[in-house]
A and B are shown apart, each in its own frame.
Chain A
Amino acid sequence: MPDTNVDILRGTLDLLILKAASWGPTHGYGIARWIEQATDDVLRVEEGSLYPALHRLENRGWVAAEWGTSENNRRARYYHLTSKGRARLRLEAATWTRFATAVFTALDAPAEPA
């Protein structure tokens, strides 16, 4: 199973967190699980860097956090996207798509360089 997992590229984690948080308030574990599930367990979050990333995003004002109660009745920190974060998400998603498209295009190129 570990062989099929891919560590998340640097810089991509922020984008995925923003996307995960855009569905509504969720805690860090929820965000990690969402990423795993949404990518069919292909992408695996490095949990040690997830939380620092979340806090950094919070300091930048892209996500906001508040304490709430979890499904197992436990105190948990819930993150949700701010309007600034939503704009950021759109921007980063567009950039990422352009980048990925460019990489795909390159990989699909039929001929050797002219």
Chain B
Amino acid sequence: MTDKSLCDEIYFNEFYTSHIQSASNFAYYKSGDKSTSLDLAQEAFIKIWENCAKIDFSKAKSYLFTVVNNLFLNIVKHEKVVFDYAKSSPYLDVDNQSPDYLLEEEEFKVKLKNAIADLTEGEREVFLMNRIDGKKYREIAELLEISQKAVEKRMSSALKKLRTKIDGI
């Protein structure tokens, strides 16, 4: 048992600092909208601050993700999601600089990001939380308040969809 309280500014700030980025990312995986993801996350933290007395410190993380999810469902219209790669990202084979290879990889990247955009929300959030945030399945399960089995299921169905989309074209 911890007697840390989120109503205490020190603990709240600590909690905020360590989770704002992943909360914002989570909102982004769901909405694919860069402009609203931080707002959603901020909104969720405000909710937590307002209800700090009711929230157990150990449950706060999954509460945060639940709130983001609810806010997303309430606010964001389901629009086509758009993802982009970071500008300076290395290719898989760093040594191969032949124009053919580079072109091939660029094509692959376009296919991939479109395929990711076509995933269901559930598949996408799990897949990207694993890939981008480097979160383990168990961690994701905890945050989303689902079983680890469910996370693995979403993960493999995401992979299956991505592979058929990319190989099929």
Asked if chains A and B come from one complex, the reply is no
